[in-house]
Amino acid sequence: MSVDFVFYLAINTLVVIAVSPLFVSLIKKVKAWTQGRQGPSVFQTYFTLAKLLKKEVIYSPNSSRIMRVTPLVTMAAILVAALFVPLVFVPEPVGGIGNIILFLYLLALARFFMALAGLDAGSAFGGMGSSREMSISAIIEPTTIIVFAALAFVFKTLNIFEMFTLNVSTGASSPSIQILIGISLFIIIIVETSRIPVDNPETHLELTMIHEGMILEQSGRNLALMELSAAVKMTVLMALLINLIVPFGLMTTLTLAGLLIALVVFVVKGSILAGIIGLFESSMAKKRFFQLPSLFAMAFFFSTLIIIIAVFS
């Protein structure tokens, strides 16, 4: 393992933890503006996390060890998954880190634990959230894998690091493919991070909630971990989209100046994408749960279109 890679582990983890609450707040801010409100400060998520860390943890007497380990496992799985998507600096891949399928399944690992924790306390809300989350994740899976297969097909590699390096060195692939990859990945971000029209991250209303229902029983530092891991997951997926479509600023050799520039560029690009997500959410209504498969069918259509275009062009 090279020194570069060790640096990469530290830089990527720190950056992703530092910037992800910002993006979450930004989306909230944009949504507030479109609704004509002032909205909370862009640093509100940091304050919320700090507040949660100070609170005590309450476990239901019915809950088992699953409830106690889930926040740690979720956070660890998502942080490792975050290592698979370089945010600002792409080193040489080591030992298969960056494998796109493993990335997907690390997210699934976190989801598995979260869904079990939702069932653990025995409350009907948690169970409902788990059930819906697992259903949605199952039916979006074919789309996700086809998008990833399309990426593998376009870049002729399975490794996200190599995709990024290729993107930086040889420039982007044809614009049509890029637009389609962008649309498909955008839909995946919306679905995977529980946003409108799939889920509403704002409410605890039983009719709408999925992700929030699942973590309803969490409290204190555990809740902080769940919130932070959700934010990190969103940032990582956003980074995947950003660095595939607009790789400008991404660094392949480690220098301090380059790192600072790349960081600033990434935060700017991420903020723009967060704004787009906020606007997209504001322009949509939450879909009925059983209408979601048709939305996913559309995503599936876009992702197969990438392949068809790439195969026959």
- Are the C-beta atoms of 196 and 105 separated by less than 8 Å? no
Of the pair 98, 278, the CB lying nearest other proteins is at: 98
Of the pair 26, 150, the CB lying nearest other proteins is at: 150
Residues 6 or more apart whose Cβ sits within 8 Å of residue 282: 30, 31, 34, 35
Classify the C-alpha dihedral 171-175-179-184 as positive or negative.
negative
Of the pair 266, 300, the CB lying nearest other proteins is at: 300
In whole angstroms, how close is the CB of 227 to other proteins at the nearest point? 13
Question: 7, 46, 59, 280: which one contacts other proteins (CB under 8 A)?
Answer: 59
d(CA 278, CA 42): 13
What phi, psi does 3 have (nearest 5°)? Answer: -65, -40
Residue 267 binds other proteins (CB under 8 A): no
Length of the chain: 313
| Among 19-27, 55-63, 235-243, 254-262, the segment contacting other proteins (CB under 8 A) | 55-63
Query: Which letter, b or e, does each residue of 117-136 get, where b requires 16 or more Cβ atoms within 10 Å of its Cβ?
Result: bbbbbebebbbbbbbbbbeb
Write the interaction track for other proteins spanning residues 287-306; mark x where CB under 8 A is met and - where it is not. --xx--x------x---x--
- Are the C-beta atoms of 230 and 133 separated by less than 8 Å? no
Question: 162, 178, 221, 246: which one contacts other proteins (CB under 8 A)?
Answer: 221
Residues 6 or more apart whose Cβ sits within 8 Å of residue 201: 193, 194, 195, 211, 212
In whole angstroms, how close is the CB of 197 to other proteins at the nearest point? 16
Residue 286 binds other proteins (CB under 8 A): no
Place of tokens 């607009």: 246
Write the interaction track for other proteins spanning residues 172-211; mark x where CB under 8 A is met and - where it is not. ----------------------------------------
| Among 75-83, 176-184, 188-196, 255-263, the segment contacting other proteins (CB under 8 A) | 75-83
Q: How many residues bind other proteins (CB under 8 A)?
A: 83
Question: 11, 19, 180, 224: which one contacts other proteins (CB under 8 A)?
Answer: 224
Helix (H, G, I), strand (E, B) or coil at 88: coil
Residues 31 to 50 in contact with other proteins, rule: CB under 8 A: none
- Are the C-beta atoms of 84 and 128 separated by less than 8 Å? no
Question: 20, 70, 144, 193: which one contacts other proteins (CB under 8 A)?
Answer: 144
Residues 83 to 142 in contact with other proteins, rule: CB under 8 A: 83, 94-97, 99, 101-102, 105-106, 108-109, 111-112, 115-116, 119-128, 130-132, 134-135, 137-139, 141-142
In whole angstroms, how close is the CB of 81 to other proteins at the nearest point? 10
Question: 32, 42, 57, 246: which one contacts other proteins (CB under 8 A)?
Answer: 57
- Residue 262 — left, alpha, or beta (φ > 0 → left; ψ -120 to 50 → alpha)? alpha
Question: 3, 56, 171, 285: which one contacts other proteins (CB under 8 A)?
Answer: 56
The H or E element spanning position 240 is: helix 220-245
Residues 154 to 173 in contact with other proteins, rule: CB under 8 A: 156, 158
Residue 149 binds other proteins (CB under 8 A): yes
Cβ-count burial of 178 within 10 angstroms (0-12 exposed, 13-18 middle, 19+ buried)?
A: middle
